[in-house]
Amino acid sequence: MPGKTLDIAEMLSKDTMACRISEMFVDWDNSRQPWLNEVMETRRYLFAVDTTTTTNSKLPWKNKTTIPKLTQIRDNLIANYMATLFPKRKWLAWEGGTEADNSKEKKDAIEAYMNWVIDQPGFKKEIQKMVADYVDNGNTFASPDWIDERLMVQGAEEGKLQVGYVGPSAKRISPIDIVFNPIADDFIKSPKIVRVLLTMGEVRKLLDQLTTEENKDDIDEVFQYMLDIRQNVASHNNTPSGSWTQKDTYLQVDGFNSFAHYLGSAYVELLYFFGDMYDVEGNKYYPNHKIIVLDRHRVLSAEPNPSYFGYPPIFHAGWRVRQDNLWAMGPLANLIGLQYRVDHLENLKADVFDLNAFPPIKVKGYVEDFEWGPMERIYCGDDGDVEAIPPDPSILQVNNEIIQLSDTMEQMAGAPKEAMGFRNPGEKTMYEVQRLENAYNRIFQNKVAQFEEYVLEPLYNGMLELARRKMDTTQVPSFDNELQFTTFMALSSADITGSGRIKPLAARHFAERAEVLQNLNTFFQSPAYQDPGVRVHFSGLNLAMMLEEFFDIEDYNIISPYIQLSEQADAQRLMNVGQEQTMIESQTPSGLTPDDADQF
């Protein structure tokens, strides 16, 4: 090998199916390059501290200030999306598909388990990352994941485990690391490939999880093969003239100069293929499979998708959906031009201020050398003259245009000022403000409901489906509103198994609640409600329970049937006792207590 230039493909034991999956990854990755360029430009503006790292760096201005308007819109959208998606503590409901699955016992068990799952510390943090992808890139991807955080206690009895969370969790998939057929009719139906970079130790841990008695020899062979090709590349590169050639485009691993450079690194790339695949070499069809490709040329494992759904549990939501392309557009992408304009005007204004303070000087005729400054003397010869040339001061009136552009950017992104606490101009009544706010926020409500419907709802059901397949008996807390204390339920997979679905009552319920409350307030003040013949048909108890749910005050135990009658009776008893005590004291001789008076 020393002194020779070899094709790296000569040393690889390639699988036809693995190479085909790698070629699909390269093709689909190339097809989304316009979207990737769009995302990279948006990201540069979002995290810019000046214009030198943006497209505004080409302008010949001395000032390089950037006004982070795009960043402010982004943070505003994320904050308001999160507040709308999680409006209260209990926002999940189980809807059973049959009478048995919709029983109170089944409903309480499933809701208690899912509320315990989403109350885990890392859940909302992962959801916030997905919301950030939704705003920054216009595309967010999520998948349920099973985690086991139990650890061995040092010094404890052998086999004893430390208490830790075991159960389903939400997993964000970076939009940069997933590819699919962009012109497919539906994301669910499209095959998908997820790219993962792991260290050698993480690969060994993954292989241990995949190892069974039947495939142990095959797994060990693949791992040893992976070690051997890395050792061969390293030993050849260490020779004085050792080098490799490479012709296969699918062996170009992102982030590395060459495939030899990749093999010499500490990382291992895995491609997870989800969907239907036909192996030409083996003449075998793999329907609804999960296939793992190692180093872009070797199949690590090929297993049927175990999900009960019948499709891979990977879910996608796009902000601005394109008609014939699954890669959606984000709310910030087409605001880059306005951000460019805002920075352009701001730096132009700053340069004009500088020119007013230090204007260029026109020198006419003979003038001795001088310093430009206060109280300096300038000696001019015959016909000599020195004159400052200030710019046109009307250019300083660009502030109004900058404000208009900033307001336009907020409106185009679906982030109205009401979400930031500002009221749109004009004198309005309370109900008129509510009606205008509902209409003005319609884009915002539509986009957040879209995220909830396409990502969160299937994600929660995917987490529940994963728990049905993998969970053991688990203790989960449940708060009893009537007894006002927390109990613990021992649940097994049978307790949370049933036909139906988990439905989040957050974004869609939030808009509906605002509309219902507005209509109720208007109706209660109308002449129709004042008619006794109409009011007699309204249930005060049901109305109170509806308001308890709408105002999110279930945990305070405010609503209880006819509680005021009971409280008034208790209050009357206390008043009677107090009055009786007062009458006794008034009839007692001075200086004597009531007990002393009883002795006479």
pLDDT at 545: 76
Q: What would the pLDDT profile of 472-487 be if each residue is shown by its tens digit?
A: 888 787 766 555 566 7
CB 268 within 8 Å of CB 226:
yes
C-alpha 264, offset from chain centre: 35
- Smallest Cα–Cα separation from 113: which of 390, 419, 468? 468
Query: Angle, nearest 10°, between helix axes 507-524 and 442-451?
Result: 140
Q: How many CB atoms lie within 10 A of CB 106?
A: 19
- The C-alpha atoms of residue 436 and residue 300 are separated, in whole angstroms, by 58
Tell whether the model's pLDDT for residue 170 goes beyond 80.
Answer: yes
Q: What would the pLDDT profile of 72-107 be if each residue is shown by its tens digit?
A: 999 999 988 888 888 766 677 888 888 888 888 888
Average pLDDT rounded to a whole number, residues 138-164: 75
Secondary structure of residue 500 in the 3-state scheme: strand
- Smallest Cα–Cα separation from 192: which of 177, 172, 203? 177
Q: How many CB atoms lie within 10 A of CB 115?
A: 17
Tell whether the model's pLDDT for residue 381 goes beyond 90.
Answer: no
- With tokens 């005590």, the residue in question is 581
With cut-offs at 50, 70 and 90, classify the pLDDT of residue 546: confident
C-alpha 419, offset from chain centre: 19
- The C-alpha atoms of residue 206 and residue 537 are separated, in whole angstroms, by 64
Assigned token pair, 547: 């308001």
Q: What would the pLDDT profile of 422-444 be if each residue is shown by its tens digit?
A: 455 544 444 444 544 555 577 88
Tell whether the model's pLDDT for residue 522 goes beyond 80.
Answer: no
- The C-alpha atoms of residue 559 and residue 541 are separated, in whole angstroms, by 9
Residue 155 Ramachandran class (φ > 0 left, ψ -120 to 50 alpha, else beta): left
Assigned token pair, 163: 């208490």
- The C-alpha atoms of residue 188 and residue 315 are separated, in whole angstroms, by 7
- The C-alpha atoms of residue 6 and residue 244 are separated, in whole angstroms, by 5
pLDDT at 433: 45
pLDDT at 1: 40
Assigned token pair, 595: 């007990």
Q: How many CB atoms lie within 10 A of CB 260?
A: 21
Q: What would the pLDDT profile of 291-302 be if each residue is shown by its tens digit?
A: 999 988 888 888
- The C-alpha atoms of residue 155 and residue 160 are separated, in whole angstroms, by 10
The dihedral over CA atoms of 450, 104, 485, 87, expressed in degrees to the nearest 10, equals 10
* Neighbouring residues of 326: CB distance < 8 A, sequence distance ≥ 6: 180, 181, 182, 183, 184, 187, 190, 316, 318
pTM for the model: 0.79
- Smallest Cα–Cα separation from 74: which of 128, 135, 127, 131? 135
pLDDT at 509: 57
pLDDT at 129: 95
Listed in sequence order, the DSSP H helices in 161-215 are 200-210
> How many residues does this entry show for the chain?
600
